[in-house]
């Protein structure tokens, strides 16, 4: 079990509309793309448990997704959007 010193807050939002539900994070609030970020996203979703009892993910691939948004560095877009598909039964991103 994690101690209080092992825990930290990540700002985000959980959105649901229609058949879509997903946690949304700003890219500045989570680690850069690497093994640590993958580990954080897996913890949020509760993978690799197929029932996702300890996370926000669902038991199917279509209900195990994460949105990561940030300010665009491109002149023709307002935001960067990264879609993360989390494995339902396997520990994958």
Q: Which residues of the chain have pLDDT under 70?
A: 1-6, 50-62
pLDDT at position 12 is: 92
In whole angstroms, how far apart are CA 60 and each of 53, 65, 80, 86? Answer: 13, 10, 26, 10
Dmax over CA atoms of the chain, in Å, equals 46
Q: What is the pTM of this model?
A: 0.79
What domains lie within the chain, and their CATH numbers? 14-85 (3.10.310.10)
pLDDT at position 82 is: 94
pLDDT at position 44 is: 87
pLDDT at position 90 is: 79
């Amino acid at each position: 079990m994690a101690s209080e010193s092992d825990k930290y807050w990540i700002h985000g939002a959980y959105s649901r509309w229609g058949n879509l539900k997903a946690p949304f994070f700003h890219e500045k609030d989570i680690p850069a793309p690497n093994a640590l970020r993958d580990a954080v996203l897996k913890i949020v979703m509760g993978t690799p448990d197929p029932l996702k009892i300890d996370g926000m993910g669902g038991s199917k691939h279509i209900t195990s997704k994460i949105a990561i948004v940030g300010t665009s560095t491109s002149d023709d877009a307002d935001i960067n959007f990264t879609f993360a598909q989390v494995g339902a039964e396997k520990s994958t991103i």
